[in-house]
C-alpha cells in the first residue's frame, strides 16, 4: 500500500552561519534534502510533499520535479504546525511518513521496516544513544509500552537520563492525522506546536503506538552545524567505500576517496588515494585510476590507466588508453582505444582516433584527430580568433612536429608531416611535408647585456 511522505525542511540552521538554507548545503555533492528525497522515492509513495520556509523559493527552485509538492511554512511554529501546512495535499486514506530534510543518511531499509505492516498504528523511529543530549526522550511504562515523548527542554531530570530518543521520523495513520493536528497545543516553553504531542492523542484514542529502530545509529544524525555536516560527509564516504570494496574494487585507502554522485566499476578496478568522482562515472574492467585525480560525468574504458593528478570532465575515454599524469580532458572529448594523452596535455571538445598520441605539453581544442596521429610537444590548435571558435581537422597517420601552431579553421590531410616550429594557416594536402621556411640567423661578436652594478652609472 502506498503512503504519503512529508519532508520537513523549513529550518533556518543558524549555526551553519550561512545565507544558504540549511537543507541545500551539499553532502557528497548533492543538497542534504536531495538525499532524503531520493530515499523517499524508493518507497514509491503516492505523494512527496516538502514543507519549506527559510530561504524562500531557493528550496523549491533547487529541487523542483513533477513528483514533488512544495508548501511554505511561514512563520515557523514547530513540527506540528509544519505538518499541518501539508494536510490538504495528502490522501487521508493513506498513512503519512514524516521525514526531515536535514537528516540525509536515513536508509531505504530502515524506512521499509518502519512502514511495514497493516492496521491503524502510530509508529515511531527511535534509537538508543550513549549521549542523548538534545533529543526528545521516549517514556515507557513498566510493560515497555510508549506512554509519551518528552522534549528535552520540557523533561524532568529523571526523564533526561533516558537513553532512548525520538528521531522525529514517524508513520501516522491518515484518517486520524487532521484531527490530531487540530488538537495540538503550543502551551510549552518554546510556544511551538510539537508533532510529538500526537503520541498522547493516539493513546487517548486507543491507537497502538509502536517503535522501530534504525539499522545503524548514524542514519538518524541531523545537520545543525558545519562540523556535523563534515562528520556526516565522512560517514557517507566511508559507507560508499565499503560498498565499493565489497563489490571487488581495490581502494588504496578507503578513507581517502570521495564519491559525489554515482561510481560504477567493472571487475579488477584499482583506485589510488585522494581521488574525487562527481556525477555519474563509469570505469571499465581492469582500469586503474592514479592518485589525486578528479573525474566527473565520464566513461572510462577497460584496461585504461589514468595517471596521477589528471582531470577528466564530461568525456568518453576508450579501452587501453593512457591519460596523464597532469592531463586535463575537458567536456565534449572522446578518445578512441589505445590513445595516449600525456603530461600537461589539454584536450577540449575533440575526438581523437585510435592509436593517436599527444604525449607532452600540447593543447588540442575543437579538433577532429584521426587514427595513428602523433602530436609533438608544444603543439597547439589555435581555435579562437577572439570572437568565434573554429575547428581543426587532422586526418589519419599525420605526424605533427614539436612547437607547431595549427590556426583554425584548417585541415591536415592524411599521411602529411608537419615540420617542427611550423605555423600552419592553410590546408595541408595529404602525404606532403609542410613546414615554415625561416632561416637561422647567427650574429658573431654579439654580447649579452650585463646587469648594472648598484652605485655605478
Q: Which residues are catalytic?
A: 360
Pairing outcome for strands 30-31 and 405-407: unpaired
CA distance 425 to 413: 14
- Quote the CA–CA distance of 56 and 207 in Å, as a whole number: 37
Under DSSP, the state recorded for 22 is G
Task: For residue 317, give the H/E element and its range.
Answer: strand 315-317
Give CA–CA dist 299/303, Å, rounded: 13
Backbone angles phi, psi at 33, to 5 degrees: -65, -35
Q: Are 146 and 72 in contact (CB under 8 A)?
A: no
User: What is the Cα–Cα distance from 304 to 38, expressed in whole angstroms?
Assistant: 32
Distance CA 94, CA 213 (A): 22
* Residue with the three cell numbers 575515454: 317
Q: Is the dihedral of CA 138, 142, 145, 147 positive or negative?
A: negative
Cβ atoms of 75 and 39 closer than 8 Å: no
Cα dihedral value 114, 116, 119, 122, nearest 10: 0
302: closest CA among 322, 287, 280? 287
C-alpha of 287 from chain center: 22
Query: Minimal CA–CA distance to 398: which of 356, 342, 338?
Result: 356
Q: In angstroms, rounded to a whole number, what is the distance separating the alpha carbons of residues 179 and 174? A: 10
3-state secondary structure of 33: helix
Instruction: Quote the longest CA-to-CA distance of the chain.
Output: 108
- Tell me if the bond preceding 137 is cis, omega within 30° of 0: no
Number of Cβ within a 10 Å radius of residue 310: 25
C-alpha cell belonging to residue 435: 613546414
Amino acid at each position: 500500500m502506498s503512503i504519503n511522505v512529508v519532508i520537513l525542511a523549513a529550518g533556518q540552521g543558524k549555526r551553519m552561519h550561512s545565507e544558504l538554507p540549511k537543507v541545500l548545503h551539499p553532502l557528497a555533492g548533492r543538497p542534504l534534502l536531495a538525499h532524503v528525497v531520493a530515499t523517499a522515492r524508493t518507497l514509491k509513495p503516492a505523494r512527496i510533499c516538502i514543507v519549506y520556509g527559510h530561504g524562500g523559493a531557493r528550496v523549491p527552485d533547487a529541487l523542483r520535479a513533477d513528483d514533488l509538492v512544495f508548501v511554505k511554512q511561514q512563520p515557523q511554529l514547530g513540527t506540528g504546525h509544519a505538518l499541518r501546512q501539508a494536510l490538504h495535499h495528502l490522501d487521508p486514506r493513506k498513512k503519512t511518513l514524516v521525514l526531515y530534510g536535514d537528516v540525509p543518511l536515513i536508509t531505504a531499509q530502515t524506512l521499509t521496516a518502519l512502514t511495514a505492516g497493516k492496521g491503524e498504528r502510530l509508529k515511531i523511529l527511535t534509537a538508543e544513544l550513549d549521549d542523548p543530549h538534545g533529543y526528545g526522550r521516549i517514556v515507557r511504562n513498566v510493560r515497555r509500552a510508549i506512554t509519551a515523548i518528552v522534549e528535552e527542554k520540557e523533561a524532568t531530570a529523571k526523564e533526561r537520563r533516558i537513553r532512548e530518543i525520538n528521531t522525529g521520523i514517524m508513520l501516522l495513520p491518515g484518517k486520524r492525522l487532521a484531527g490530531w493536528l487540530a488538537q495540538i497545543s503550543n502551551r510549552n516553553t518554546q510556544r511551538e506546536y510539537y508533532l510529538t504531542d500526537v503520541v498522547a492523542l493516539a493513546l487517548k484514542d486507543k491507537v497502538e503506538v509502536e517503535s522501530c529502530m534504525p539499522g545503524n545509529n548514524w542514519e538518524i544524525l541531523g545537520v545543525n552545524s558545519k562540523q556535523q555536516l563534515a562528520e556526516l560527509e565522512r560517514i557517507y564516504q566511508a559507507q560508499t567505500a565499503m560498498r565499493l570494496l565489497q563489490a571487488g574494487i581495490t581502494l588504496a585507502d578507503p578513507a581517502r576517496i570521495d564519491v559525489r554522485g554515482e561510481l560504477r566499476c567493472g571487475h579488477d578496478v584499482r583506485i589510488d588515494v585522494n581521488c574525487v568522482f562527481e556525477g555519474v562515472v563509469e570505469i571499465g574492467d581492469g582500469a586503474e585510476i592514479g592518485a589525486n585525480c578528479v573525474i566527473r560525468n565520464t566513461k572510462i574504458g577497460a584496461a585504461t590507466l589514468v595517471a596521477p593528478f589528471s582531470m577528466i570532465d564530461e568525456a568518453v575515454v576508450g579501452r587501453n588508453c593512457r591519460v596523464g599524469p597532469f592531463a586535463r580532458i575537458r567536456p565534449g572529448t572522446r578518445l578512441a582505444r589505445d590513445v595516449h594523452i600525456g603530461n600537461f596535455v589539454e584536450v577540449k571538445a575533440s575526438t581523437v582516433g585510435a592509436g593517436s598520441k599527444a604525449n607532452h605539453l600540447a593543447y588540442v581544442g575543437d579538433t577532429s584527430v584521426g587514427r595513428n596521429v602523433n602530436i609533438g610537444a608544444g603543439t597547439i590548435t589555435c581555435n579562437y580568433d577572439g570572437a568565434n571558435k573554429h575547428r581543426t581537422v587532422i586526418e589519419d597517420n599525420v605526424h605533427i612536429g614539436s612547437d607547431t601552431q595549427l590556426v583554425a579553421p584548417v585541415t591536415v590531410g592524411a599521411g602529411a608531416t608537419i615540420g617542427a616550429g611550423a605555423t600552419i594557416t592553410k590546408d595541408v594536402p595529404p602525404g606532403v611535408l609542410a613546414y615554415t621556411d625561416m632561416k637561422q640567423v647567427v650574429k658573431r661578436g654579439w654580447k649579452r647585456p650585463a646587469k648594472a652594478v648598484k652605485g655605478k652609472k
